[in-house]
Structure 1
């Protein structure tokens, strides 16, 4: 059992699927589009789908969806983090996810919840169309999310990530439409907008019952003038500290409503600017939002101790039951991971543990060709030809492959 810790940490490295390479170009996603009657325009989408969605060896997987505002700026970095933490080096820190980047057409219009005629640093021309945030949220709810759910293998678990004006829209969506997403990530949100109108509304909205079960991460960059600290900013009333003060006030308000059922974490990044904060804050947000997803290092250590009485299959099954409770929908242990663990245990002369793993997959993925083919391999290795023949026959009923047919023919020839 000692090697099982290393196996859990490393075996998925062999399952990591490289990004598609076409014509010497590395492809990390595809461009899709939705014709919106709400916005009266065609909106492009940048979409990443885990490669396992199209792997015919295993039962089709379905995935949570992470929506990224300002997709033209943040899609690549967010997608890279999701892939790194859910696949690369055997990581299961996050679930594999579909990432949908939403590029802008009129950023000020779509990401601000109220109309203003003047705002620091923004030209009057850009402000003429401001205040379309509620309309954009209607686009998300009535058109974009239904389109993604209809065309991609999704599960009912959604995360919204936004920076700056995007962070403002994230907060407006959480406070006014909390049921639309499960998780909200507001990166340096522009809570100063419209005289801090949304911030002033927050106390009443944070008391609503609809926030229970949701999660929010707020990342705060250092946007203070020289000579100020966070204590001085809170006391200041000048326009120079308005942005920083509004973010700190949001943090304070969230703390005052800690009993509303909203799971919250906010973090200040003293060494990051408004422009640099999205990368570290998104990483921290993902770790916070999905902290229940990966087994703890201590649990893995206990599992790997010599003489451990922990049953690998029971451990995996119980862990994903806890994950299901945290995610709010049934999360099955990934078929490829369980399959690889089972083969490792079989090759390590731990037949009983291996069978328990193969049977776990059979219960969870009864219509998978691979599940029954693998069971056939187990029974063949254990010199149980009748059971192996039955398993291979079932596999071939689901998918006819020359390799499995050859294994079945060899067994029948020996009878």
Structure 2
């Protein structure tokens, strides 16, 4: 089966400044689409190897600084959800709705043992190894990821079904380990709701400041039943356990937890992960998106200085959240500058192009944009200077020809 997956091992020098010594170097073929690589880690806590499915943002190999880091999403049942979650994050990060992220898909050798917080003698499979499994994540997996990959300390933990139960277990017992928790149709009925009752108590008495939780709830009762009047049956025990949890949590307004839940009437237990992941990421990273349309509106009365102040404040907040400095994305600032040029607001455009040069001094694009700005202002001398800066960084035939024409024109004056 593994031979059918769109995976391969790739050399780590392409993804960051740190390299893994035992990485297998398989040449990437031109007709391959690669979304990740397979890593493995021996756990002394679990006494076994664990396979890891790793996605590194494409921009990591193009980063200008070894200091570039990325938030990490730790994904339970990795093989089942890796491709869909990777696609969602790549799509949302391209639109700057969420940050680019490293994705770590965690595999199981004994799923029920790993993901359940208590032992149930009558259970069909081994159980109760959930806390040991979380110890493995905290003490072995996360240090390995942060040592091997360009990973930041900002982390999201997500799981479905028993994986969702494990996520809630982590929120309760290791609340400082992750920043965000995504529990998708979690199996909170486990052990006759014994863990659910413990969780409810802890959520009532503890503080969860700067932590976020999203719970997705699938329709596991059919269309004939009303969500507000579900009878007590074995068939409804699963969803009623989740509803007990989310309804109780909604009353705990002073525990500091950023919380939202949603019922997906048109989705089953099997189909709900995809849409829940999308909605969860939109909710948990709502603070990430800069409202560029508002700042660049033709009707805006903001000055260049006021726009800069708002941009700096927005990315200062992101930096505080992530624990490291985050610069406004080059393509966003460049696009905003281009809009200002189109709207005949050259002073605002100049301010943004200058910001990009400050933040991305090794990018050819920032000097080319500034050169085009000067050309629009009939400042040929400064345009020539900026285009020369492009060529100092690397060969560019288009800019070279453009520069030659400008110099010839300037010399004829």
TM-score range normalised by the length of the shorter chain: 0.7 to 0.9
The aligned counterpart of 1:134 is 131
Corresponding position of 1:110? 114
Q: Which residue of 1 aligns with 2:245?
A: 250
Is the aligned partner of 1:280 residue 2:287? Answer: no
Deviation of 1:318 (Å): 3.7
Kept in 2: contact 1:346–1:378 (CA 8 A): no
Find the counterpart in structure 2 of residue 333 from structure 1. Answer: 328
Name the stretch that deviates more: 259-268 or 383-392: 383-392
How many matched pairs? 379
Q: Distance in 2 between matches of 1:56 and 1:62?
A: 10
Q: What is the distance in 1 between the residues matched to 2:312 and 2:119?
A: 51
Task: Name 2:20's counterpart in structure 1.
Answer: none
d(CA) in 1 for partners of 2:403, 2:226: 76
Deviates more, 1:220-229 or 1:206-215: 220-229
Distance 1:307 1:186, change over 3 A: closer
Say if 2:325 is the partner of 1:353: no
Check conservation: 1:65, 1:157, Cα contact below 8 A. yes
CA distance change for structure 1 residues 385 and 200 in 2, over 3 Å: closer, same or farther? Answer: same
Question: In the aligned structure 2, how far is the partner of 1:214 from the partner of 1:33?
Answer: 29
Q: Deviations over 1:246-292 (max 9, x none)?
A: 11111122123221000110111222211111112111111111112
Distance between the aligned counterparts of 1:26 and 1:260, measured in 2? 45
Indicate yes or no: 2:46 matched with 1:39: yes
Q: 2:166 aligns with which of 154, 166, 169?
A: 169
| Equivalent in 297, 300, 307 of residue 293 of structure 2 | 300
- Which structure has more relative contact order (CA 8 Å, sep 6+)? It is 1
Q: Which has the higher helix share?
A: 1
Under a length normalisation based on structure 2, what TM-score does the superposition of the two structures give?
0.79
Contact 1:375 1:391 in 2 (8 A): no
1:164 and 1:257, CA in 2 relative to 1: closer, same or farther beyond 3 A? same
Give the counterpart of 2:151 among 145, 151, 154. 154
Partner of 2:248, secondary structure, is helix
Aligned with residue 93 of structure 1, among 91, 97, 104: 97
Q: Could you tell me whether the CA contact under 8 Å between 1:110 and 1:132 is conserved in 2? A: yes
Q: CA deviation at 1:77?
A: 0.9
TM-score by length of structure 1 reads 0.79
The alpha-carbon deviation at position 21 of structure 1 amounts to: 7.8
Check the 8 A contact 2:368/2:386 in 1, yes or no. Answer: no
CA deviations over 1:200-226 (Å, ceiling 9, x no partner): 102331135451110000111122378
Structure 2 CA distance for aligned equivalents of residues 307 and 169 of structure 1? 48
Deviation at 1:73, TM superposition (A): 0.6
Shift of 1:362: 3.6
The CA distance in 2 between the partners of 1:207 and 1:285, in whole Å, is 23
| 1:118 Cα deviation after fit | 1.6
| Equivalent position of 1:239 in the other structure | 234
Q: Show the counterpart of 1:66.
A: 73
Contact 1:64 1:96 in 2 (8 A): yes
Task: Tell me the SS of whatever aligns to 1:216.
Answer: strand
Deviation of 1:308 after TM superposition, in Å, equals 3.9
- Indicate if the aligned counterparts of 2:391 and 2:400 stay in contact, CA closer than 8 A: no
1:402/1:370 CA distance change after superposition, 3 Å: closer
Displacement after TM superposition at 1:239 (Å): 2.8
Contact (CA 8 Å) 1:375, 1:388: kept in 2 or not? no
Distance 1:390 1:146, change over 3 A: same
- Residue 386 of structure 1 and its aligned partner are, at CA, apart by 7.0
**1:111 CA drift (Å):** 0.9
1:408 and 1:273 mapped to 2: Cα distance? 58
In structure 2, what is the Cα distance between the partners aligned to 1:406 and 1:105? 58
Kept in 2, the 8 Å contact 1:221–1:268? The answer is yes
Q: CA deviation at 1:195?
A: 1.8
For residues 289 and 192 of structure 1, the distance between their equivalents in structure 2, rounded to whole angstroms, comes to 25
